[in-house]
Amino acid sequence: MTSAASVHFHAPAGHIIGRHDGAVLRATGIRYARAVRFQLPVAELPATAPIQATSPAPACPQVADSLLAPALGSLFAGMTYDEDCLRLSVTRPAEQYPDEQLPVIVWVHGGSYVTGAGDLAVYDPGTLVAEQRVVFVAVTYRLGLLGFLGQEGGTPPNLGLLDLLEALRWVQRNISAFGGHPEMVTMFGQSAGADAIAHLMVAEGAQGLFKRVILHSAPLGLSRNRRAMSQAMAQAAGTFGPTATIDEVLARESTVTQAARRFGLKSGMPFGTQYGAHPLPHEADMDTSWRAAASRVDVLIGATAEETRFFAVLDPKYRRLLSLPLVGRLLSRPLVAISSRLVYLKATKAFARRHAQAGGRAYHFSVLFRPPGSEFGAAHTIDLPLLLGTQASWSFAPILGRATWEQVQEAGRQVRQLWADFARTGVLPSQVEIPGVLRLRQVKE
């Protein structure tokens, strides 16, 4: 039953009041768990009063990252921040057909495990949901010191991963009330979000919570041999008194990041998952665990063609290199190619190959989209506007160069269809070529 402005969902979580928004219905900022600072998440109990779900989920408090603005613009304009951020938002088509159960896509945002939020405007799923008839769940979870650093006898590591597990359990209990099929859940993440999902594939307690994964630009080349760096970071973090403010926590996070600098390339993403701490296996067992998961989870994984060009263009040293007459651009190409391969491309292909060899269904893709007039080319994040966001949310983004929103939408139309087909069936053509946009192939044993 709906009124002109609101829509009501009756779920095990309670009576949820969302809203109409054109061709979709939205229920936003729903609490799926609660957590005391540096403690395990606890699932939210069913509500006895109606749940007002009409405001975006707040972002986890985070150190402001103004370095991204020259590429992505004012990402966080209008966003609120709150430690009580364990919220999710559901978007579904406005029209529902009798007995229809839609595929569910659970979105995990990126941001190097230190920035981002599930309800950023650039992640708006409205077009994808209305066009492809899927239910989309965007999850906000703890970041940085609050979610991804800990040590034995102190703060539990991997709290952000445990948050995501609670969100997935909420989806299993409640998504039918939104027309979604709980046995047809696909996790979809970009960058650190994709890295988190890759690790959830082998996390204790995750089996049966999702059936497929779509992994964009997972920095899997940085995931190994992090123990010494994490220990140095934990030592730098120290402990916090019970009255410490969130500003004091964030100030310490900056100090902790500095402590990771001496650990080379992987210090580019100092916060992250920790092996051997609940819910993850020990590092020596990861390959075996991923192979064991292959029969349970379908994988669609890939990256953009020039991943690290995103970071390079934002780096003053790289820009000085580009300014060198004649040789600047010649030297820049191999730097981007080598670093992209080390952080993203090599490990992404290896992940798909191992999955297929272990008997799983795996597809690998490369995003080739290069907007006209953009110095970023086919860089990290260029895949996002092909799938998510609106003209208003992306209009400020220099990474799109001179591309019109109509051009972006046209480039993304077939990608959205493929991704939705994967969420529905797990099966795609063995080879797909969308000229200037995407190349995809099934990975064989």
Residue 242 covered by a domain: yes
Residue entry with tokens 């798909």: 352
Count CA atoms within 13 Å of residue 413 on its CB side.
7
Which residues have a catalytic role annotated?
191, 307, 380
pLDDT at 35 over 70: yes
Q: What is the pLDDT of residues 388-441, one digit of tens each?
A: 999 999 988 899 999 999 999 999 999 999 999 999 999 999 999 999 999 999
Q: Looking at residue 323, what is its pLDDT?
A: 61
pLDDT at 32 over 60: yes
Q: Looking at residue 320, what is its pLDDT?
A: 65
Q: What is the pLDDT of residues 12-28, one digit of tens each?
A: 999 999 999 999 999 99
Whole-Å CA distances, 274 to 96, 117, 206, 335, 418: 42, 22, 16, 29, 33
Q: What would the DSSP string read from start to end of 112-136?
A: TTTS--TT-GGG--HHHHHHHT-EE
Q: What would the DSSP string read from start to end of 132-153?
A: HT-EEEEE----HHHHS---TT
Mean pLDDT of 224-253: 93
Q: What is the pLDDT of residues 330-370, one digit of tens each?
A: 667 788 899 999 999 999 999 999 999 999 999 999 999 99
Q: Looking at residue 188, what is its pLDDT?
A: 98
Residue 18 covered by a domain: no
Residue 276 covered by a domain: yes
Mean pLDDT of 275-289: 97
Our separate counts of H helices and E strands in the chain read 15, 15
> Residue 324's domain spans which residues?
25-41+52-443
Query: Cβ distance 126 to 134 under 8 Å?
Result: no
How far is it, in rounded angstroms, from Cα 366 to Cα 222?
Answer: 19
Residue 2 covered by a domain: no
How far is it, in rounded angstroms, from Cα 12 to Cα 373?
Answer: 50
Q: Looking at residue 3, what is its pLDDT?
A: 45
- Written as six digits, the tokens of 57 are 């989920």
Q: Work out the pLDDT band at 282, boundaries 50, 70, 90.
A: very high
Query: Cβ distance 144 to 253 under 8 Å?
Result: yes
pLDDT at 328 over 60: no
State phi, psi for 75 to the nearest 5 degrees: -60, -40
Residue 281 covered by a domain: yes
Mean pLDDT of 160-168: 98
Residue 17 covered by a domain: no
Residue 12 covered by a domain: no
Number of domains in the chain: 1
pLDDT at 285 over 70: yes
Residue 187 covered by a domain: yes
Burial class (CB in 10 A: 0-12, 13-18, 19+), 351: buried
CATH code, domain with 96 = 3.40.50.1820
Q: Which of 67-71, 301-305, 323-327 is the least confident region? A: 323-327
Q: What is the pLDDT of residues 82-115, one digit of tens each?
A: 999 999 999 999 998 888 899 999 999 999 999 9
How far is it, in rounded angstroms, from Cα 113 to Cα 123?
Answer: 17
**Hey, which residues does 88 pair with through a beta bridge?**
30, 139
Q: Looking at residue 141, what is its pLDDT?
A: 98
The mean of the pLDDT values for the chain is 93
